[in-house]
Chain A
């Protein structure tokens, strides 16, 4: 059976450009952090808000951060396709540019979900089964999907405007670490957090995603999660528009 073009591109994205070592590092690092950071800091921090132990606080954050892992992998596929002229090769074939873009975003989402699965598997022995209801699970998946769309779109928009691999991967690394560390993935925002830093944290979409996933894990959805969903949806739409605009103006040809 012949798959639709978008799915053929997705299958190809999963196989091409991504070597096992890269995938091991990308998914292994957060898993490693759950085990090491979670175990070590749990000894120092007695409880964190409604989550209880630090590791129970950390796991939902790391799950939310997988949307960035997925987006980074998707951005990597896109950039390497540009670097190795596969974008041109694909565009001169039986595919629409919209299909290629859609395939990249689906790739980001699927990688995010793979990451979520790995984090859950790693965390299960440490925090036990979270006992999520179907609606809580659906909210988590929707949050991951919106976050993947946002970060994936953002990296594609940036990757489409840059013609240097060094610059792209530098921006991607800085963005990745900035977004993860200036969010509530590793630590909560409290009244003692400096106001400027608090403002930056709440301007970061990953904060909303981490808080929503955490609320699902603690069965404590509230109005704030609706706001978070709305903010994420709006930002995802903006990032998608930026990605489309970047694609429409994509300059094909050699890149460094």
Chain B
């Protein structure tokens, strides 16, 4: 049996190892693509960094949500039975399809809407009792654009004034934000005359004019280009490292994967899954893609023989493409499939140039999680023969 390593290997694509009569597999584990987002230092100093599972208790929570619900009418719930916690310095991502309840959750947690069931607490105080003091400790970037009819620069300083930020501090912070969010060139323009991306940057910049301990961001990066997104996410990650807690909703799952310590996936107003992104990916990743490249094109007989062997061994897989010398599968258990292919190739004196297993992205896990009607937390859908 050829040696087969399925973890800890990362070899270059262009240097396959061949041994006549044996199969030595340069197994390649491919990380999910982060194209367009760039490499972002994951905030790793918060108390929750590397939290092992969703059941782990959050230390020093700033936000505790317990069976929270909001109903428009007795039979029309927007969100229901939500439970999660956010610790100090933690970035918690709320994911979900359009209408899943993300924005309603943010509106309830920022006291804009009263919960109709369950409880939640901000900084240890029941949400129903939260007032000015607690709201002074949070920041909110709502999904709906909000602006005053003054210049971008004056919007920033005026917002600082509203929050009671001393004039000189507000002035210097406005300069910092204008630079950080690349708004210097439009500082004298009115916000409604800005492009969509500029307006979104302005929204985030304005909210950062005041100090806070917990920041709610409802889709803050909508309409932003990749470079700006990267810059904003890096800034937020930096703030989180300094202790700012963030509740973050987004449809760009790469962002959540890179930025969030933990995520919660909403569907139909309920929390379908929560935990660190890696754990959610592991639990809901569904099939992984295995690509096997042979030294020469396989004959029709060899292909049939390989598939028959895999079927006999009870492998769960689906053939994606079956080119002359490259086979691409989706498999529930990629490691077993790799081993089975190598077992098949070895006695046939057939060199396998390369086998790669591509790790699931959060997007794939998300799609797998929300694209059917399974009850929550039952694991990936099994549809492979």
Contacts and interface: CB of A to CB of B under 8 A. Distances in A.
B246 to A, nearest CB: 15
A34 interface: no
8 contacts: A2-B166, A17-B148, A89-B146, A92-B140, A93-B136, A93-B163, A252-B107, A252-B113
A11 interface: yes
B179 to A, nearest CB: 23
Interface residues of A, number: 28
Contacts of A92: 110-112, 135, 138, 140, 142
B158 interface: yes
Contacts of A86: 146-148
Contacts of A5: 132
Given A17-B149, A88-B112, A252-B112, A2 B144 contact: no
A96 B158 CA distance: 18
A178 interface: no
B124 interface: no
Given A16-B148, A92-B135, A93-B140, 20 more contacts: A2-B166, A3-B164, A16-B150, A17-B148, A84-B148, A85-B144, A85-B145, A86-B147, A88-B142, A89-B140, A89-B146, A92-B112, A92-B142, A93-B135, A93-B136, A94-B163, A95-B132, A96-B131, A252-B113, A254-B144
A48 interface: no
Interface of B: 107, 110-113, 131-133, 135-136, 138, 140, 142, 144-150, 154, 158, 161-164, 166
A9 B164 CA distance: 11
A94 B144 contact: no
B62 to A, nearest CB: 16
Contacts of B133: 94
B221 to A, nearest CB: 18
B112 A84 contact: no
Nearest to B109: A92
A9 B140 CA distance: 18
A88 B149 CA distance: 16
B13 to A, nearest CB: 50
B338 to A, nearest CB: 52
Nearest to B136: A94
Contact of B150 (A3, A15, A80): A15
Nearest to B144: A85
Given A93-B136, A96-B131, A84 B142 contact: no
A18 interface: yes
**Chain A interface SS verdict (over half):** loop
B164 A12 contact: no
Nearest to B216: A92
Most B CB atoms within 10 A — which of A80, A89, A96, A252? A89
Nearest to B206: A89
Contacts, number: 75
A90 interface: yes
B161 A85 contact: no
A84 B144 CA distance: 8
Interface of A: 2-3, 5, 8-9, 11-12, 15-19, 80, 84-86, 88-96, 252-254
A89 B202 CA distance: 14
Contacts of B146: 84-86, 88-89
A12 B112 contact: no
Nearest to B191: A84
B381 to A, nearest CB: 36
Contacts of B144: 85, 88, 253-254
A91 B110 CA distance: 9
B164 A16 contact: no
Contacts of A18: 149
A8 B164 CA distance: 8
A16 B111 CA distance: 24
B147 A94 contact: no
Contacts of A91: 111-112
Contacts of A95: 132, 135
**Most chain-A CB neighbours within 10 Å: which of B138, B162, B164, B166?**
B162
A19 B142 contact: no
A93 B140 CA distance: 8
A11 B111 CA distance: 25
A26 to B, nearest CB: 15
B248 to A, nearest CB: 16
A16 B135 contact: no
Contact of B162 (A8, A80, A96): A8
A95 B136 CA distance: 8
A12 B132 contact: no
Contacts of B138: 92
Contacts of A252: 107, 112-113
B163 to A, nearest CB: 7
Given A85-B142, A86-B148, A94-B132, A16 B158 contact: yes
A77 to B, nearest CB: 10
B199 to A, nearest CB: 11
A86 B159 CA distance: 11
Nearest to B133: A94
Nearest to A99: B132
A253 B147 CA distance: 15
A93 B162 contact: yes
A96 B133 CA distance: 10
Contacts of B164: 2-3, 8, 94
A11 B161 contact: yes
Contacts of B166: 2
Contacts of B111: 91-92
A12 B135 contact: no
Nearest to A4: B164
A19 B158 CA distance: 15
Nearest to A16: B148
B213 to A, nearest CB: 13
Contact of A89 (B132, B142, B154): B142
A18 B150 CA distance: 9
